[in-house]
Chain A
């Protein structure tokens, strides 16, 4: 068979498989909705959450019970530019059911007098640890009260002619090394995961349908009775599956760009630097991955008699790709060299680097690329070898 005829055979199989995969509208729609839109939607939801935190930080409101009993404290809080309000009567109930999102400070009877006499009055911060938002406010309130205590102590000491610095023999200053982009990466750490999953689910159906599905329908046996060589046949099929996976990769990578316009939190918008450049780098990582995962899924599925059996077997691949990136979450020893050579994990690390705005060179890209190429070749070779036996039995 001449090279040209061979190429034509591959192309014919490829074109048919693409048409077949794209006609499966319902499955494609589900993949698009669940995988491609998932990432942006989570991002937008996250931005809503961050925005609500920011809003509350800007509001600077505090709620007290027994406002009138503590003029000194109220004065201090107002000097810190906080607005002090009386807490609603049913605050405990409302905190419990999360309709009230602020911690409440309870001032005891005789607070002012005790304070003046130096009799350490007890202030109570009421929050509900099941109510996340009130928890966040509670630590801020605690810091404010500590500052109040320090001011009181300093004043008392100064009254007696002692330097306030005695109370604070050490001065603590914090210096955050994270750049804007690294700080943003905390919020966007799961984006690579979503994109990987989108590619995987995009390729999954086409991969199973063109192998196990073909066996189940009984269309593989007649297909092999055509004068097309097996490697060519598998290459055509694999090409189509990989293309569907890549299409999903492109869609999901670029879906984050318009999603950015919908970000409600300015801080997050400033932290999440994702433009054309980042999208293209993502694709550089994802396209080889789509090719490799398609071949692997086909290799897993060709062993199965039915589509259902293949789905059950493919779960292992899905599980591996979703669990391997966890290495970087639980990374006790930091980023090791071998991480780049683990499929799934390597891609995850590279994409995190892109999000953090860190540069990476050819050698970091080379590892995952080589792994993907080897996986593709092994997968395609395995499917071609098993095709004959698969058709008959």
Chain B
């Protein structure tokens, strides 16, 4: 289970000119995000561009420290016990670069080893994941020259190599074609089932259909705040809309959550 409580994070934007002194600008990426993602459940983080989804997931992955709030993974505080928390998570981040001179298999096994797996286990797991994502023929090719979709599959397999209880994906369908997107959805649905390990899956997206088709719960994020959460049906009922896109626009761009004009 992943629990995020009243998360806030702001950045100081770098000064543009080295000569003129400018007041450093503070950018509030995340103001107040709270949600809970249960095991055996797919939770979608839905929000427009710049809503703070990626920053939230980066804090979740212990990459940056929050200014306020807590992030708990199975009751482990990510900030105080980052390594223990990371061992329970598989994160596909916004940046998903591979090592071009290593084969797909080596890329995956490297992360397995870093997660503390032994070589044989990591190899076996790489092959199982390759079957799952239909990329067995790619395994022993160097990732140099991989297509966008092939890269994505490799990065996903790399994130899941240690069979983590929690799966965190930042816009995972970016750059995937229809078939690959469908295959990914099927894999995620399977991971949610008890046979698949009843994983706790959190993924961010700005694509409505994805959320409608896949998510058990939706957290709508806008202007750095979590403005609404619930199942798709609940959100539709709350806004009195029949179309989810209309419902989302109503929730995300409400006047009272918008940033105060300066």
Q: Which residues of A contact B (CB under 8 A)?
A: 1, 5, 8-9, 12-13, 16, 19-20, 23-24, 214, 217-229, 388, 391-392
Residue of A nearest to B58 (CB): A392
B110 at the interface (CB under 8 A from A): yes
Total A-B pairs in contact (CB under 8 Å)?
Answer: 81
B62 CB contacts on chain A under 8 angstroms: 225
A155 to chain B, nearest CB (A): 81
Known: A23-B101, A222-B96, A392-B58. 8 other contacts (CB 8 A): A219-B99, A220-B95, A222-B93, A222-B159, A223-B114, A225-B89, A227-B82, A391-B95
A-B contact pairs, 8 of them (CB 8 A): A16-B102, A16-B106, A218-B95, A220-B95, A222-B111, A225-B91, A227-B114, A391-B95
Q: A226-B86, A227-B87 are in contact. Are A20 and B155 (CB under 8 A)?
A: no
Q: Which residues of B contact A (CB under 8 A)?
A: 58, 61-64, 82-84, 86-87, 89, 91-102, 106, 110-111, 113-116, 155, 158-159
B82 CB contacts on chain A under 8 angstroms: 227
Cα separation A246 to B101 with both chains bound (whole Å): 22
A1 CB contacts on chain B under 8 angstroms: 83
The interface centre, meaning the residue of A9, A12, A222, A388 with most chain B CB atoms within 10 A of its CB, is A222
B106 CB contacts on chain A under 8 angstroms: 16, 19
Cα separation A225 to B57 with both chains bound (whole Å): 11
Residue of A nearest to B101 (CB): A23
Q: Is the CB of A392 within 8 A of B63?
A: yes
Cα separation A388 to B89 with both chains bound (whole Å): 18
Cα separation A218 to B93 with both chains bound (whole Å): 10
Q: Is the CB of B110 within 8 A of A24?
A: no
Cα separation A23 to B111 with both chains bound (whole Å): 19
A213 to chain B, nearest CB (A): 10
B113 CB contacts on chain A under 8 angstroms: 12
A16 CB contacts on chain B under 8 angstroms: 99, 102, 106, 110
Residue of A nearest to B98 (CB): A219
**A226 in complex: contacting residue of B58, B92, B111, CB < 8 Å:** B111
A23 CB contacts on chain B under 8 angstroms: 101-102
Q: A218-B97, A219-B97 are in contact. Are A226 and B63 (CB under 8 A)?
A: no
B95 CB contacts on chain A under 8 angstroms: 218-222, 391
The secondary-structure label for the interface of chain A is helix
A154 to chain B, nearest CB (A): 78
In the A-B complex, list the 7 residue pairs whose CB atoms are closest, starting with the nearest.
A219-B97, A218-B95, A218-B97, A217-B97, A227-B83, A226-B114, A221-B95
B33 to chain A, nearest CB (A): 17
Cα separation A217 to B110 with both chains bound (whole Å): 17
Residue of A nearest to B14 (CB): A393
B96 to chain A, nearest CB (A): 6
B10 to chain A, nearest CB (A): 14
Residue of A nearest to B86 (CB): A227
A5 CB contacts on chain B under 8 angstroms: 116
Q: Is the CB of A392 within 8 A of B102?
A: no
Residue of B nearest to A11 (CB): B113
B61 CB contacts on chain A under 8 angstroms: 225
A60 to chain B, nearest CB (A): 61
Cα separation A229 to B91 with both chains bound (whole Å): 17
A13 CB contacts on chain B under 8 angstroms: 114
Q: Is the CB of A19 within 8 A of B98?
A: no
A12 CB contacts on chain B under 8 angstroms: 110, 113-114
A99 to chain B, nearest CB (A): 52
Q: A12-B114, A392-B64 are in contact. Are A227 and B97 (CB under 8 A)?
A: no
Cα separation A222 to B91 with both chains bound (whole Å): 7
Q: Is the CB of B93 within 8 A of A225?
A: yes
Cα separation A99 to B9 with both chains bound (whole Å): 77
B86 CB contacts on chain A under 8 angstroms: 225-227
B64 CB contacts on chain A under 8 angstroms: 388, 392
A214 to chain B, nearest CB (A): 8
Q: Is the CB of B114 within 8 A of A221?
A: no
Q: Is the CB of A222 within 8 A of B83?
A: no
Q: Is the CB of A222 within 8 A of B158?
A: yes
**B63 in complex: contacting residue of A20, A217, A218, A391, CB < 8 Å:** A391
**B99 in complex: contacting residue of A8, A20, A391, CB < 8 Å:** A20
Q: Is the CB of A218 within 8 A of B96?
A: yes
Cα separation A124 to B100 with both chains bound (whole Å): 70
B89 CB contacts on chain A under 8 angstroms: 225
Cα separation A9 to B242 with both chains bound (whole Å): 52
A388 CB contacts on chain B under 8 angstroms: 63-64
Residue of A nearest to B115 (CB): A226
**B84 in complex: contacting residue of A218, A223, A225, A227, CB < 8 Å:** A227
Cα separation A8 to B82 with both chains bound (whole Å): 18
Q: Is the CB of B63 within 8 A of A224?
A: yes
Cα separation A227 to B86 with both chains bound (whole Å): 6
A216 to chain B, nearest CB (A): 8
Cα separation A224 to B111 with both chains bound (whole Å): 10
B4 to chain A, nearest CB (A): 17
Cα separation A5 to B82 with both chains bound (whole Å): 16
Cα separation A222 to B110 with both chains bound (whole Å): 12
B96 CB contacts on chain A under 8 angstroms: 218, 222
Q: Is the CB of B83 within 8 A of A229?
A: yes
Cα separation A135 to B86 with both chains bound (whole Å): 75
Cα separation A1 to B83 with both chains bound (whole Å): 9
Q: Is the CB of A228 within 8 A of B63?
A: no
Cα separation A221 to B61 with both chains bound (whole Å): 10
Cα separation A16 to B91 with both chains bound (whole Å): 21
A217 CB contacts on chain B under 8 angstroms: 97-100
Q: Is the CB of B115 within 8 A of A227?
A: yes
A392 to chain B, nearest CB (A): 6
Q: Is the CB of A221 within 8 A of B116?
A: no
Q: A222-B158, A391-B63 are in contact. Are A228 and B114 (CB under 8 A)?
A: yes
A222 CB contacts on chain B under 8 angstroms: 91-93, 95-97, 111, 155, 158-159
The interface centre, meaning the residue of B63, B64, B86, B91 with most chain A CB atoms within 10 A of its CB, is B63
Cα separation A224 to B95 with both chains bound (whole Å): 11
